[in-house]
Amino acid sequence: MKLYRFLSEEDTSAFCHKVTDALNKGWELHGSPTQTWDHAAGVMRCGQAVVKEAPGTYTPDTKLGAH
């Protein structure tokens, strides 16, 4: 099955660590990163889509973070 996740976080090293962790677990970058201003929180937010090929069959109960 092909899995998709969208990772997001404030624009700090925490975002880079989140993406690095996913890459080290076999996820691959999908597209370009994005960045936007969060008016409510007053911070920049970053996002990055990642994809991964995994065994099994997808269901809505699939725990994406467990792969």
Q: Which residues of 18-43 are buried (b: 16+ CB within 10 A; e: fewer)?
A: bbeebeeeebeeeeeeeeeeeeeeee
Give the model confidence (pLDDT) of 13-52 as tens digits. Answer: 999 999 999 999 999 999 999 999 999 999 999 999 999 9
Residue 36 covered by a domain: yes
pLDDT value for 66: 79
- How many domains are contained in the chain? 1
Residue 6 covered by a domain: yes
pTM value?
Answer: 0.86
At 64, the pLDDT band (50, 70, 90 cuts) reads confident
Residue 22 covered by a domain: yes
Residue 41 covered by a domain: yes
At 65, the pLDDT band (50, 70, 90 cuts) reads confident
Residue 62 covered by a domain: no
